[in-house]
Chain A
């Protein structure tokens, strides 16, 4: 514990130094303006902006805690069974915050930025995703370590990498080196953070090298076609995903350093690379938990893995029937149906066997399957919403109507409104669906005193089946004309809901379960460690 506290305090000392010196927010400036510029307009107009930053902060900063535990275990050379429990609990909590925070960030972008999407593979978005990917990998490898005693060094490395990626992410957001919609501050703290990143990296690598002997696996894996084998594949895929996103994000800087030419790596690149890996991960969510631990007979393996295929085929066929034609989306539906079948079965089995008391005892296991169920829905919703959306751009005069999907949109008129901090032009539209009035939407165009270009605020009609999204391209009040971007996107809401479910599943897995006598005897010999584990509520 003293070593863990030491590591945390070292990190805290660095950030205190940053606030006291290079990034002191309390300096007086030479010529103070009568009224400050206020926050960036994009940050002013949505409620989600109040929740998203603190959640992201907790996720990011929270990763320091497992890093401290990992370093302490390495420093003391105490890498027995006991170091795992506090490590995983302290990893899971910030993971929950980060999961929800990333979703909230995407939701905010969707509600505010006006292009009708929620993820643009922007450097700052990627910065939030990178530690999430390695943390997710670590949560999985920790399970194999617990069950089989393998991947010890690997798990510790992933935990350290997660922390290092949060520092890299802080650098990417704060340094102004990256061209991003989400870089709201520019300051000169880049080099200082980079120096800290280098020091932390060196510290981590040296620690690992010093303890390389105690990191040897003391267990074994009996067969590759087993659940533990799939965990290895899972870790490989998460790592490749992390590497790809990292390369894509920093590559423009590297290329410019090499040949002096500016280049871009954007959404088409990330879509091409990430979609296959994401689809493979969805496949693993299905096939991994279906496979037995250890060595199964050929017949056992087939009996476990074949039946869910029927559900997958049914889900894919339903998708095709309602008009999904994109190949990757069909495959996503196939794997998604498969994974849903396996996940629900794994959730149901213990209950069927021994009633609801199974839920209380196996809460950690149950919680992880809730997370899986959420992840399956998120992946399906992303695939469907990004490949089946329809959009059109229409010019309206007052009274004109236009149709998109089942919706008809009628322009009722536009008006100016003066507010203390901005001039807004609001266009009102009546929305009918299959002839029935549904709602009135009022997207607006805002002119801020501090900004040259006007900033639009879209308006969205959300339903479980899909969203109608209206975003103004330009508007003329005198002539009562408006050019409007209309977008219909199926299933978007499921992304927000299912990501919340993932967070809830994480919480279920985190809540401590009352200790059982088995664990008592197992741990009796390691009294001191048990105390530590208990204080973090991690017994299962």
Chain B
């Protein structure tokens, strides 16, 4: 299955335009291109490794994906476009930073909600403990 996806991807790679449209950003080169390549690749999951990012993995698939990221950045595609390009091929599984969408939004909301509840509880507790003092 994964091999099939990779094969498909190889075919698609030249015309990313038909999937995510024309490039929205500025074409990068040189050191800036290398830096952005690593940054964007660190947001993508290597599909054949165990939890490693494309930036970190030495596997062939990851190296290919990194090369694609580099090429797309050089052609002026934005991070968002590149991520959705890979998401089309591999599904949400490939995104290491889950999108704020559907069920997945919960992973962002729950800790914040917990923090909110925690702050309320702690301030209530503090007030209660301070009140004892006033009596």
Contacts and interface: CB of A to CB of B under 8 A. Distances in A.
Interface string A483-509: 001000000000000000000000000
A122 B45 CA distance: 12
B49 to A, nearest CB: 8
A122 B53 CA distance: 11
Contacts of A247: 107, 110-111
Contacts of A473: 58, 63
B126 A453 contact: no
A348 B114 CA distance: 38
Report the contact-size class of chain B (Cβ under 8 Å from the partner): 35 or more
Given A244-B111, A269-B97, A273-B111, A180 B130 contact: no
Contact of B98 (A179, A259, A264, A392): A264
A122 B34 CA distance: 26
Contacts of B45: 264, 266
A221 B59 CA distance: 57
Contacts of A272: 97
A259 B93 CA distance: 13
B3 to A, nearest CB: 13
A248 interface: yes
A474 B64 CA distance: 13
Interface string B16-40: 0000000000000000001000100
B122 A117 contact: no
B52 A120 contact: yes
Contacts of A217: 129
Given A268-B43, A453-B59, A220 B133 contact: yes
A266 B50 CA distance: 11
Interface stretch (A8-16, A17-25, A232-240, A523-531): A232-240
B14 interface: no
A258 interface: yes
Interface string B38-60: 10001101000011110011110
A335 to B, nearest CB: 19
Contacts of B56: 115-117, 120
B47 to A, nearest CB: 10
Interface stretch (A205-213, A222-230, A405-413): A222-230
B103 A258 contact: yes
B96 interface: yes
A255 B104 CA distance: 7
A223 to B, nearest CB: 7
A247 B52 CA distance: 19
Given A259-B102, A263-B98, A269-B98, A243 B111 contact: yes
B94 interface: yes
Interface string B71-106: 000000000000000000001111111100011101
A240 B118 contact: yes
A174 B81 CA distance: 38
Nearest to A181: B50
A471 B58 contact: yes
Contacts of A222: 130, 133
A269 B107 contact: yes
Nearest to B102: A259
A266 B55 CA distance: 13
B13 interface: no
Contacts of B59: 453
B106 A181 contact: no
Interface string A455-471: 01000000000000001
Interface string A183-207: 1000000000000000000000000
Contacts of B63: 473
A261 B58 contact: no
A255 B94 contact: no
B106 A251 contact: yes
A181 B52 contact: yes
A540 interface: no
B26 to A, nearest CB: 21
A386 to B, nearest CB: 11
B5 interface: no
Given A120-B56, A123-B51, A232-B126, 14 more contacts: A116-B56, A120-B51, A122-B51, A181-B52, A217-B129, A220-B130, A236-B122, A251-B106, A261-B91, A264-B45, A264-B96, A268-B43, A269-B97, A391-B38
Interface of A: 114-117, 120, 122-123, 150, 179-181, 183, 217, 220-224, 229, 232-233, 236, 239-240, 243-244, 247-248, 251, 255, 258-259, 261-269, 272-273, 391-392, 453, 456, 471-474, 485
16 contacts: A115-B52, A115-B58, A180-B51, A181-B51, A221-B130, A224-B126, A229-B126, A243-B110, A243-B114, A244-B111, A247-B111, A251-B106, A259-B102, A264-B94, A266-B96, A269-B97
Interface of B: 34, 38, 42-43, 45, 50-53, 56-59, 63, 91-98, 102-104, 106-107, 110-111, 114-115, 118-119, 122-123, 125-126, 129-130, 132-133
